Structure 1
């Protein structure tokens, strides 16, 4: 044990003995049985890893451990006083001495893993909280009473922390979207209209080079300075060949990075083995990526392709590979175009801790970025209004009703003549088509212009059309015959 304590005598050596990930921190925390040790664990972890948001999450974990040990009486106030003292102590004794002091407790923990006799004796837990050694389980009451941090997002309502997949056909604009995402998060600017939490970002552009990336960055930045907290890599090992180790080292050196985008998944997935079950293989390596994201408290977004054969009923069935990819991911985004030449695409999102949504996005070719258009229903309503506003029948009726104090009556032939005069175009190819089109416009006439419509059949004279615009100064009732026609028309 003394050798271990001496080994952490300076800051650089102490850092290498810090918990490897969140799970290691939890195991270490489970060894704490005194207030002093809880302070030590907090100090060590806060000093060597993470942003304030991560530190706050670990603070809640220490709170839960203190409650479990019945140590919480007054501990919150002590913790606040301790947090104030830490900075003063750090300044007084210096970085190396401070690191050595807090490293001693972790050295005890490391030593206990290999020397059980050296592990400090803990008081036996009360029967109601006793659990078998090595088992992490909680009662429903414990879970319901826990003070847990809320699910954090990189992009609010869109990208939660965890591991996700962005899927689309090749050459559909995925890389432009991911680059724009990394820039937006690094600068704390909205992405697709959704607010972001500002963090450092890392983009593994494994299918690009420096020249293309520079060109794309300049297009998206539009003359603004590039953020220093966005990082780009062009090469990476595969999973199982050093990828996670390399990423871990880079994130240790840049702890502000909370978004890692890997473009594409095929560049880092393990090579297939003979006779290997596709689902098991996909779920295994995706599970390793998810565990890495969870242990770091970051978001890992994988760019992937759809398969060649397409299922028109469910876009998520078009993901290339087995269903193990979708099953292991915390969230999945699919970009779906009806035609490659279309500027608009469907944006479909589903996930465990995110509200499922379907939007329409458009690629702005002038700015080389995707822009949110809204839901499919919203776009359909917008198009419907635009078509109505451009309709020559509507333009003609507005003039006639204005001239006629809110009312107008006449036959199809009369209305056709008025169209030529006021809309300068033919309202319909023939009289029958004109009547049919008026019927189709009837709901929108009322919705947009409060125009009521009814007709009278006058034998050989044909159908007489009647229009009245409801206004505050026009409260005359509709004739009974007209009311019958209105009910008939609405059905």
Structure 2
């Protein structure tokens, strides 16, 4: 191409570009708090989750909360700071196709500093599908209208969505309600999710046309989300720490150290031996400890080059054989 096109502008470094975006999560998971935190950081030009931002005006269309509740949440996010004058809120909008587009376009015309718009939640302004339209066709049509507005005003519009009830653990983006149309039209999409609702941490997965796919492990500190780092790296660190603390693992390593790198015995013997090693006492049934060993086979081999085999012998339970070429375990963490 001969045209000298301007570079793609990131409103949040590596995470949020101009165009049509999207943020989705299950109900009450904290996506509105995340969007409000993002809006404040963009309006102030402060880092968001540790990433630099491009300061701009922000319009937050809050269709789920009363003005007083929005104000209370904003005060909590600001934590004593003054509210930025370029952060605007709206609580009453028409449906798309019934005036929403005109109202939004007029606002952006009269507020040229605004380059980021949140619609919380999109379902509140989404009109019903027309006769003979499929769900995909209806979603694609109205989302294309939003994308055109975002592109026309050189900004970003981020609708907030709810996840489907069904969950595909292998692909979080497939859990997005109306995912096919949303991902097809959007320039980027964020998914906030937990493996279990009671988990203290959540994962923010990011994908898009001009941003690199990434996942971040987040944790709530007060009302704000804090970035703990790359999700895979955080999980690997946690996995290693759990492995290093496991009394079953440490008992096996002690037995190998005492027996020149090879030990054979039953689970009951491992449990009995643990009481003689400081900090290794194992509490639990032979059945439970046997399952722990089987679950740790890959970790034993990966972290300490300990190889395991299991022999069935008689009625006294299986014999577990452990071998290693590094019986001193100088690399213990």
Equivalent in 237, 241, 245 of residue 386 of structure 1: 241
Equivalent in 319, 328, 332 of residue 468 of structure 1: 328
Conserved in 1, the CA contact under 8 Å of 2:58 and 2:114?
yes
Are positions 1:228 and 2:85 aligned together? yes
Cα separation, 2, equivalents of 1:389 and 1:188: 41
- Taking structure 1 as the reference length, the TM-score comes to 0.54
Cα separation, 1, equivalents of 2:199 and 2:271: 38
- Taking structure 2 as the reference length, the TM-score comes to 0.77
Equivalent in 368, 373, 378 of residue 223 of structure 2: 368
Conserved in 2, the CA contact under 8 Å of 1:182 and 1:230?
yes
Higher strand share goes to which structure? 2
Report the equivalent of 2:8: 151
Are positions 1:281 and 2:281 aligned together? no
Cα offset for 1:441? Answer: 6.3
Whichever of the two has the greater Rg, that structure is 1
Are positions 1:317 and 2:174 aligned together? yes
Cα separation, 2, equivalents of 1:314 and 1:453: 33
Secondary structure class of the residue paired with 1:145 = coil
* Paired residues for 1:107-146 under 5 Å: 144-146=1-3
Secondary structure class of the residue paired with 1:347 = strand
* Paired residues for 1:295-314 under 5 Å: 295-314=152-171
Report the equivalent of 2:183: 326
Equivalent in 184, 199, 204 of residue 342 of structure 1: 199
Conserved in 2, the CA contact under 8 Å of 1:388 and 1:394?
yes
Report the equivalent of 2:17: 160
* Paired residues for 1:226-265 under 5 Å: 226-265=83-122
Report the equivalent of 1:404: none
Cα offset for 1:318? Answer: 2.9
Secondary structure class of the residue paired with 2:152 = helix
Task: Output one character per residue of 1:428-447: Cα deviation in whole Å (capped at 9) or x when no partner.
Answer: 867x96xx689776546648
| Greater mean alpha carbon deviation, residues 380-389 or residues 273-282 | 273-282
Considering only aligned residues, what root-mean-square deviation do their CA atoms show, in Å? Answer: 3.7
- The runs of 5 or more residues in structure 2 that have no matched partner are 309-319
- The runs of 5 or more residues in structure 1 that have no matched partner are 1-143, 402-406, 455-461, 472-491
Alignment size in residue pairs: 309
Task: Output one character per residue of 1:375-413: Cα deviation in whole Å (capped at 9) or x when no partner.
Answer: 443133112221133234677799999xxxxx7547787
Secondary structure class of the residue paired with 2:235 = helix
Cα offset for 1:418? Answer: 7.5
Cα separation, 1, equivalents of 2:42 and 2:194: 26
Higher helix share goes to which structure? 1
* Paired residues for 1:18-97 under 5 Å: none
* Paired residues for 1:155-194 under 5 Å: 155-194=12-51
Equivalent in 58, 73, 77 of residue 201 of structure 1: 58
Secondary structure class of the residue paired with 2:159 = strand
Secondary structure class of the residue paired with 2:243 = helix
* Alignment CA distance shift 1:414-1:383 (3 Å): closer
Task: Output one character per residue of 1:274-329: Cα deviation in whole Å (capped at 9) or x when no partner.
Answer: 33333322222111111110010001000112233444554333332373333221
Report the equivalent of 1:11: none
Cα offset for 1:204? Answer: 0.4
Equivalent in 263, 272, 278 of residue 422 of structure 1: 278
